[in-house]
Structure formats: C-alpha cells, structure tokens
A and B are shown apart, each in its own frame.
Chain A
Amino acid sequence: MIELTINGSPHKLDVAAEMPLLWALRDILKMTGSKYGCGMGLCGACTVHLDGEATRSCVLPVSAAVGRKITTIEGLSENGDHPVQKAWLDKKVAQCGYCQVGQIMSATSLLDKNDQPTDDDIDQAMGGNICRCGTYPRIRSAIHSAAKLYREAK
C-alpha cells in the first residue's frame, strides 16, 4: 500500500511503487485534470506541485511522493477562482486547453515564490511546458496580471 496526501486528503493506493504519480492520479484515483503529453518530463502537461514545487508527475514514482504534499489542479482552488485561473480566463489563454492545467500549475508555483516576475523569470519557469496550440504570449501576459492579483491580495 502506498499512502499519499493529495490536496490535503490521505489516499491509500494498491499500486506498484514505481508507477508514475500521473497514472496513479489519472487511472487509479480518477483525477484526470493532470494530463499526459510525453511521459518523459519533456512537456509539462502532467505538472503538479510537490511540496509547492512544480513537478512532472509522469516521471515521479509514487514511492517518491510518499510523505510529501501533493497539489493537483483539482485542489488548486475551491471554485476555480485562484488568481492564476482568473487571469487565464481574463486573457482567454486557452485554445484546445489540453496543456493549460500543466501551464497553470507551473505558473502558480512560480508566483508563489516570486510575485514580481520579469519576462525572463517567466520564460525560465515556463520553459518546460509546451503548448502546441501556441498560447505562449497570452500565458506570459496572464502571469503578469496574475502577479498583480497576488500583490494586491497581500
């Protein structure tokens, strides 16, 4: 049995220790918000927070997540009103939307540490997230406006 704490709740899973967290979330716990894009840590679609740090769940064995705080998109906010989610809607970032959960998880992890990111900071933090539809400029601008909401909330 693997015991995980996801979005504040404990979960017991009967899975192989080396199963990547992504598949445990999606297939076992039926939390399909985190997406599969490459399975190799190359695209960021599967990004979750591990102790607040943006982490690629497709290459993280569940055993390595034991005893750590896992946050997924399902637990990011109660009503979808996290500043980053708001900014995303406001800038109409999404096209197909498939990559956006991963983008949002990377962006929130950046903003939690740095609420005054420069373009370079953003490019750096978001470099591991691919958007095939091509929403990068809007993501950048949404992160700037979310940063403003972060600062105002302080």
Chain B
Amino acid sequence: MSFLQKIGVVPNLEKQPEHDECAIENVSRRSFIKGAGMTGASLVIGVQFSANSLAASKSDEFSPDVFISMDKKGTVTVISHRSEMGQGIRSSLPLLIADEMECDWERVVVEQAIGDAKYGSQNTDGSRSVRRFYVRLKQAGATARTMLQQAAAQVWKVDVDQVTIYNHQAKLNNSNKTLDFAQLGEIAASLPVPDKETLKLKTEAEHRYVGKENMENLDGKAIVTGKAIFGFDVEVTGMKYAVIARPPVVFGKVKSLDDSEAMKVPGVIKIIQMPALSPPAVFNMLGGVAVIAENTWAAIEARKKLKIEWDHGANASYNTKSHEAVFKKALQNPPHTVRNRGDWEQAKSAANKTLTQDYYVAGLAHATMEPPAATAIVTDKGVDVWTCTQTPQSAQRNAMGVMQYPQERAKDVNIHVTLLGGGFGRKSKPDYIAEAVFLAKETGMPIKVQWTREDEIKHGYYHSPSYQRLSATFDKKGAATGWYHSMVNHPIAATFNPNAKQAGSAELGQADMPYDLPNIKILNGESDTFMRIGWVRSVTNINNAFAACSFADEMAYHAGQDPKDYLLQLIGKDQHIDLAKDGYQYGNYGEQASVFPVDTARLKNVIKLVANKAGWGKKLAKGHGMGIAAHRSFCGYIATVVEVSTDNGKVKLENITYAVDSGKVINPDRVRSQMEGAAIFSTSLAFYGEITADNGIVEQGNFHDYEMARMSQIPDIEVHIVNSDEPPAGVGEPGVPPFAPALCNAIFAATGNRYRRLPLKQFGIV
C-alpha cells in the first residue's frame, strides 16, 4: 500500500472491492432506517460497496453506503454520501440512479449523508467519486426499477414483461393503464431484491439523464438566492463565535499570554488556551489562543489585542528561499530510484548530446473561497458538528479524538455536512473541526469556529515547493534515447510521520510518465519538512507535469521539431504501459491496471483532438504563441493548448482549449465546468502562486499578497470531450496539471524565453 493510499488521498486497493461488487438489499422493513432519517418511506433500497458486502448483507452487519428511498407521494430521495464542493457530485451520482430507476428528475431529492461509518468511505478526494461507483449505482437504480415493475405486474396480474417503466410510472403494455411509483412503493417494499444477474441495465443510448446536457444543478437556485448553507453560514441556538490566534510557526507554543486588553472588547465572552501541538501534525489542532465572543467582529478585534509571546520552536529555522539550495543539493545524488528502464548512465556516456534543465515550483495554499469553518455542540449525549468537510468520517474520528471517546461511541458523533465553498483538498483535513469540538467541550456552549482569510493562508496544509532536474540524451541522429527526472520536495508523509524524508509523490505524474524511451530513470531526493504539507488539487502532478511537459517541449525545440508532433513521437506506439517491467509498483490512483491502464492511444488522441480544435500550426498574429501539454492523472487524459500574446513584456491569455478523455461522462456540463475551473485555478498558480516562510512564519496573508486570477485575465475556455465507453475517470483534478506547462510553452513560442520557475510574477511578465 502506498503512502497516499494509507492516508486516503487515493483509495487502498486491497480494501476496495471489484468495480461491480456490491450488495443491494431491500431494507424497507429494517429498523436502522429510522436512525437514518427515512421514517415515512415506503420503499428503501440500501447499497453497500464493501468487499465483504455479500456476506454482510445476509447478516445484521449490512450497513449501506447509499440509500434510495421513496415516500408515499412517490418522491425519491437519494442519500448522497459525497461532499459537494463545486464538481456537481451531488447531482452526478443521483443522476445515475435516477436514470436507471426511470425517475422523473423533478421528483428526485438529494440529501447529504451525515458523516458516519455506515455510509462507507465518504472521502471526496482523489477525483474518484464517479470513477468508483458507476456500475454499482446503475445496479442500485435498476434494482428499484425492477421491483417497481414486479409490483405493477402483481397489481395487474400479468407477466413482468408486460409492464414498461418510464418516467416515474408503470405502464401496462397495449393498454392505457398506468400506475405511479407512489402507488407501487408499498408493494415493491414487500418484494425480495432481484438477482443482480437478472437486472437489465440501460444501454448508453437508453440513458435519459446520464451524459445529457441541460441537467439542472441541484443547488443552483439556493446559490443564486443566497439561501445555500455553507459551513460559514451555520447557525444554531445560543451559538458563540470563535477565532483563534494560532502559533505562527508549526509546533510553536504560547510562552506567555496577557489577555487583559482583549477581554475589554465589548462582546468578548471568554479567552481559552488551546492545547499545544507536537509532531506529527496529522489533522490535529494547531494550538494557540481562542477568543469566544458574541459575534465574529468582536472576536476578530479582541484577537488583535491579545499579547502573546510565542516559543516558536525548531521550525523557526526554516526559510523557503534559502531552502532552495538545500533542495538543489539533495538532487546531486538522490538516493531513491523509483523507476528504472534500460541503463541511464550508459545512455548518458554513449550520448551525442545531453540536455539538462532544473525546474522550481513554489509552494501553494488552497485559498478556498470559503475558509474553513465548523460549528459544534457538545453534550453528555455526544457531539453534533455542522461543517464544510470533504471527509466526514475523518472529521468524526478527529472529533472522537478530542472527546477521547472509545470506538463504540462513534454513533454519538454526528457530522452534518454543509455545502463547501471550495475544497481543493483543504477541507479533507479536519483540524478546524477538532478546534470547534474542543471549544464547545471546554465552554459548554455551541461554538462556531471561523478561519479568517489570514488564518487560511498562514496556517495551511501547503502544496510543497519542489525542485526538479530533467535530463534527456540524444544519439548521433538526434533521436532521444533517455529520460531522467529527479524531484525533491517536502513530502506530505511528513505531516503524518516526522521522520519521512523521501520526496512525494512520484506516482503522481513523475514515475508514470508516458514517453517511450529505451532508458528511463526516475529518482526522488530527501528533505526535512518545516510546515504542514498537504494535497492541493491534483497534488504533485502540479509540479511533476510542469517540469515533464515543459521539458518535452524543450526537447522538441532542441530537435528542431514541432512540439505537438514531437510529443506524439515521444509517446510512441499505442500500448498499455507496463510500469512493473521497469521495476515500479504503480499506485494508479487506487485503480486496477486492467480497468484503468496507462493507455498511450488515449493520450495521443486527446493531443490530436486539442491540436485540431485549437488550430495548431495555423499562422498566428505577431507576438502570439501557442503551447501544448498533455498529461494523464486520476485515470483521466487531458491535453491543453494555450495561446498567449505579449505586449510590452506582459503576457496575456488569448485562447485556452482543452480536450478531455475521462471515460464515460455522466454530466458533460460539469466536466466542462471542471476544466474551465482547472484552467483558472492553474492561471492563479502559474501567475502568482507562492507561499514562502521566513523564520518558519508564512509571509503571505490575504489576496493582496496571495493573488488570484481575475476576470479580465481569463478568455473564453473551449472544452472538447471525447466520446468514450471506458469506465469513468476523475475530472475534478486532472485539468490542472497540463495548464501551466502549456502556458509556459506558449510563452516560449511567443518570445523565445523559457520560464522554468513558477510563479511567473517573479519575472515581471504577468
């Protein structure tokens, strides 16, 4: 099991069932549905995805991941167990069920599951929600449909095949007779679940919702009227507001505190010292001093008046800029060979020419539009938390840790998931939830902890800065013979284990690179870590793809060839790359290679498609340039063409084109919106993204020094989706990695200047 699997960034394959393995049960009469808030339902189908699901379904241990329930009016409620943070998951997953069940979409309601082990893994990281559940959710929908069909057949006393189910109705063939789902629920509830083998799943052509345009966004209306409830918006009776002065340096401690001035601020109720944090950081509270007040403003004002002397601790030695030299040194002789093909050293000594370049990508913060927030109530009976979280179950574990509850009290901790004002990986780290629970416990009051923007920027789980060295060898004829890529960063693993030093994660875009060369060497260096490091949308694919896709472009230039043609040539023949042959055990985002191979044909296809759509090779206006990059991540294949213009030394984005092959598409509009979002997220990071620390203290604090792309900088974005029958891949993250290299390749094409460091702000060109 790889490290990322262990901590849940990518799922653990050993524990994951086959793609179509699940247990589907009629649970209409089971007692536990009351606890799940479905009393009043007539028909309830439970679906469990776990590996031992079949055994479990026969016993009391059956604990469904997804419920489909129908009330007496025929309203179908799908309990969605994934957090919504802008990707449309809340509508995509139920869409599958509703389509297969032949529901009228207008009569489908989606409810958010609360965080509980009974819903299976609720993690919304790793772009895998749709990827994992496609077939199983279809089966669940088909089960309900078949039972309703059988119920109608019973009523009419006919064979099942005399009944057609369409749009929330059963119709008796060759007659005008119809029955609404509402009239069939009770009867269906008394029927056994049909054998999975007998289910007739709809074909792609029969889908009415899946893959179709113009499916309404479930939360759209609530959002545009301001009624949508995010973590920040939660309001419970008697609630007080908390902001926290956290140690400026990770693992720092309060040396002394004078809160006398702060206590004088009207509205301040209490000032509480938080427990200090010692390594490892994991998802624990950072410590510091909390101000509890009647309103947010009073809390913020009082926090300014706290006089705290900090013991900054060992991490105060850290300076991001000077650490670059340490990184560089770490790549002189990196100790960890991750992937090895042929003989790189041999290739180097035989080479006619070797091209070597270094790349540096700065550290990044998530900057979710909504900073972290959590509201907690603690009583003798247990804990209720309302919060924006991507991972309700680790939130539950975290809350239990604070309460020092034994495992059997898990049922007393309810995590109610609100909408998320952006996640990007930040909201899968529930440190803020622990803070709310701690303060609610200490004060006996309902507490809402809100992070200000400064808190969010200064106390993040950052994407690590990284230093990379790329090398390629060429023979006498100029043909490429070898590829070398070494990388060092502060590993995410260090957040969980202070002794972890090996750079992470090669499996995200470094070691799984697709170029077919006879000699390949992929290495990782080692470094200490001084901040909390975490996963930010697409994780180390950001820096790995930046370096690898930029370097491929440099090789094309060196060879005097068109970058797109050269890229296709580097990728070579159609094949499923067998990384094990190069001595590399590839994590493949938790997926099996047989289902989700590294397929070079699909990668080449998106390259050709994007080039074609963007008009690659056409004559461009003076000062314009086009760049291309392609990258596979989260089992999706994305190619991007960026066209820039330059004026007075400033770069302007002119056109952005994406081609996406993410397998079967459930909601094409949400795929497009994810690519648009990825392009803009990447513009921010490529132009401005840079977190630095001095004396261990983060130097940025708000949008003036951690800038975001603005509307005027973003042209229209064209997204072309490959029509595919392959199993669905993730779409939330893979749009990010190819953008920055395509951009820098375009700048090179326009200006002849090669930028090997991000962000570009440092060069004064944006």
Known: A23-B295, A127-B710. A42 touches B704 (CB 8 A): yes
Taken residue by residue from 40 to 52, chain A's Cβ proximity to chain B (1 for < 8 Å, 0 otherwise) reads as 1011010000000
Binding site for B on A (CB under 8 A): 15-16, 19-20, 23, 26-28, 30, 32-40, 42-43, 45, 72-74, 76-77, 80, 85, 88-89, 92, 94-101, 104, 122-124, 126-127, 129-140
Task: Say whether A37 contacts B677, CB under 8 Å.
Answer: no
Residues of A within 8 A of B86 (CB): 94-97, 133
Task: Say whether A124 contacts B712, CB under 8 Å.
Answer: yes
Task: Say whether B369 contacts A89, CB under 8 Å.
Answer: no
Task: Say whether B295 contacts A27, CB under 8 Å.
Answer: yes
For residue A67, give the distance in angstroms from its CB to the closest CB of chain B.
Answer: 21
For residue B633, give the distance in angstroms from its CB to the closest CB of chain A.
Answer: 18
Task: Say whether A127 contacts B712, CB under 8 Å.
Answer: yes
**Which 6 A-B residue pairs are closest in the complex by CB-CB distance?**
A33-B226, A98-B421, A134-B680, A95-B86, A73-B226, A97-B223
29 example contacts (A-B, Cβ-Cβ < 8 A) are as follows A16-B266, A19-B295, A20-B297, A28-B295, A39-B300, A42-B702, A85-B224, A89-B216, A89-B221, A92-B217, A92-B673, A94-B224, A95-B673, A96-B84, A96-B421, A97-B219, A98-B369, A98-B421, A98-B422, A100-B224, A126-B711, A127-B712, A130-B703, A130-B710, A133-B680, A134-B681, A135-B676, A137-B714, A137-B715
Known: A42-B703, A95-B86, A127-B712. A80 touches B225 (CB 8 A): yes
Flag whether B678 is at the interface (Cβ < 8 A): yes
Taken residue by residue from 689 to 712, chain B's Cβ proximity to chain A (1 for < 8 Å, 0 otherwise) reads as 000000000000011100011111
Q: When chains A and B are docked, how far (Å) is the Cα of A92 from the Cα of B368?
A: 20
Known: A133-B422, A136-B711, A140-B711. A94 touches B223 (CB 8 A): yes
Flag whether B220 is at the interface (Cβ < 8 A): yes
Flag whether B195 is at the interface (Cβ < 8 A): no
Residues of B within 8 A of A30 (CB): 235
Flag whether B21 is at the interface (Cβ < 8 A): no
Task: Say whether A32 contacts B226, CB under 8 Å.
Answer: yes
Among A34, A72, A97, A123, the one with the most B-chain Cβ atoms within 10 Å of its Cβ is A97
Task: Say whether B226 contacts A101, CB under 8 Å.
Answer: yes
Known: A42-B703, A45-B369, A132-B708. A26 touches B296 (CB 8 A): yes
Known: A32-B226, A94-B223, A127-B711. A133 touches B702 (CB 8 A): no
Q: When chains A and B are docked, how far (Å) is the Cα of A27 from the Cα of B450?
A: 12
Task: Say whether B226 contacts A37, CB under 8 Å.
Answer: no
Task: Say whether B453 contacts A94, CB under 8 Å.
Answer: no
Residues of B within 8 A of A37 (CB): 369-370, 453
Residues of A within 8 A of B715 (CB): 137
Task: Say whether B711 contacts A132, CB under 8 Å.
Answer: no
- Give the bracket for the number of chain B residues in contact with chain A: 35 or more
Flag whether B85 is at the interface (Cβ < 8 A): yes
Task: Say whether B297 contacts A33, CB under 8 Å.
Answer: no
Q: When chains A and B are docked, how far (Å) is the Cα of A97 from the Cα of B346?
A: 55
Residues of B within 8 A of A39 (CB): 300, 452-453, 702
Q: When chains A and B are docked, how far (Å) is the Cα of A15 from the Cα of B295?
A: 10
Residues of A within 8 A of B297 (CB): 15-16, 19-20, 23, 27
A-B contact count (CB 8 A): 184
Residues of B within 8 A of A36 (CB): 232, 296, 371, 450, 452
For residue B490, give the distance in angstroms from its CB to the closest CB of chain A.
Answer: 24
Q: Which of A35, A89, A97 contacts B232 (CB 8 A)?
A: A35
Q: Which of A32, A77, A123 contacts B711 (CB 8 A)?
A: A123
Q: When chains A and B are docked, how far (Å) is the Cα of A23 from the Cα of B450?
A: 12
Q: When chains A and B are docked, how far (Å) is the Cα of A32 from the Cα of B241?
A: 14
| Chain B interface SS verdict (over half) | loop
Q: When chains A and B are docked, how far (Å) is the Cα of A101 from the Cα of B226?
A: 6
Q: When chains A and B are docked, how far (Å) is the Cα of A132 from the Cα of B86?
A: 11
Residues of B within 8 A of A16 (CB): 266-267, 297-298
Residues of A within 8 A of B232 (CB): 32, 35-36
Residues of A within 8 A of B676 (CB): 134-135, 137-138
Task: Say whether B422 contacts A32, CB under 8 Å.
Answer: no
Flag whether B43 is at the interface (Cβ < 8 A): no
Q: When chains A and B are docked, how far (Å) is the Cα of A104 from the Cα of B221?
A: 13
Within 8 A of A (CB), among B282-308: 294-298, 300
For residue A138, give the distance in angstroms from its CB to the closest CB of chain B.
Answer: 7
Flag whether B254 is at the interface (Cβ < 8 A): no
Flag whether B716 is at the interface (Cβ < 8 A): yes
Flag whether B419 is at the interface (Cβ < 8 A): yes
Q: Which of A43, A92, A133 contacts B703 (CB 8 A)?
A: A43
Other 14 A-B pairs with CB < 8 A, given A33-B227, A133-B369: A16-B267, A20-B297, A39-B453, A72-B226, A73-B225, A74-B226, A85-B225, A98-B230, A127-B711, A127-B712, A132-B681, A132-B684, A134-B677, A134-B709
Q: When chains A and B are docked, how far (Å) is the Cα of A13 from the Cα of B420?
A: 30
Residues of B within 8 A of A122 (CB): 711
Residues of A within 8 A of B294 (CB): 27
Within 8 A of A (CB), among B594-626: none
For residue A120, give the distance in angstroms from its CB to the closest CB of chain B.
Answer: 8
Q: When chains A and B are docked, how far (Å) is the Cα of A19 from the Cα of B299?
A: 11
Chain B residue nearest to A101 in the complex (CB): B226
Q: When chains A and B are docked, how far (Å) is the Cα of A64 from the Cα of B14?
A: 61
Known: A38-B702, A94-B217, A124-B712. A132 touches B422 (CB 8 A): yes
Flag whether B492 is at the interface (Cβ < 8 A): no
Task: Say whether B369 contacts A130, CB under 8 Å.
Answer: yes
Q: When chains A and B are docked, how far (Å) is the Cα of A97 from the Cα of B676?
A: 15
Chain B residue nearest to A130 in the complex (CB): B708
Known: A37-B453, A89-B221, A101-B226. A135 touches B677 (CB 8 A): yes
Task: Say whether B712 contacts A123, CB under 8 Å.
Answer: yes
Residues of A within 8 A of B680 (CB): 131, 133-134, 136
Q: When chains A and B are docked, how far (Å) is the Cα of A30 from the Cα of B424?
A: 28
Flag whether B585 is at the interface (Cβ < 8 A): no
Q: Which of A19, A133, A140 contacts B677 (CB 8 A)?
A: A133
Known: A23-B296, A135-B677, A138-B676. A40 touches B453 (CB 8 A): yes
For residue B218, give the distance in angstroms from its CB to the closest CB of chain A.
Answer: 11
Q: When chains A and B are docked, how far (Å) is the Cα of A104 from the Cα of B224?
A: 8
Flag whether B2 is at the interface (Cβ < 8 A): no
Task: Say whether B422 contacts A40, CB under 8 Å.
Answer: no
Task: Say whether A38 contacts B419, CB under 8 Å.
Answer: no
Chain B residue nearest to A120 in the complex (CB): B712
Residues of A within 8 A of B678 (CB): 134
Task: Say whether B369 contacts A96, CB under 8 Å.
Answer: yes
Chain B residue nearest to A97 in the complex (CB): B223
Q: When chains A and B are docked, how far (Å) is the Cα of A138 from the Cα of B368?
A: 19
Task: Say whether B226 contacts A95, CB under 8 Å.
Answer: no
Chain A residue nearest to B226 in the complex (CB): A33
Task: Say whether A134 contacts B679, CB under 8 Å.
Answer: yes
Residues of B within 8 A of A45 (CB): 369
Chain A residue nearest to B225 in the complex (CB): A80
Task: Say whether B220 contacts A89, CB under 8 Å.
Answer: yes
Task: Say whether B717 contacts A132, CB under 8 Å.
Answer: no
Task: Say whether B453 contacts A38, CB under 8 Å.
Answer: yes
Q: When chains A and B are docked, how far (Å) is the Cα of A20 from the Cα of B299?
A: 13
Residues of A within 8 A of B371 (CB): 36
Residues of B within 8 A of A89 (CB): 216-217, 220-221, 224
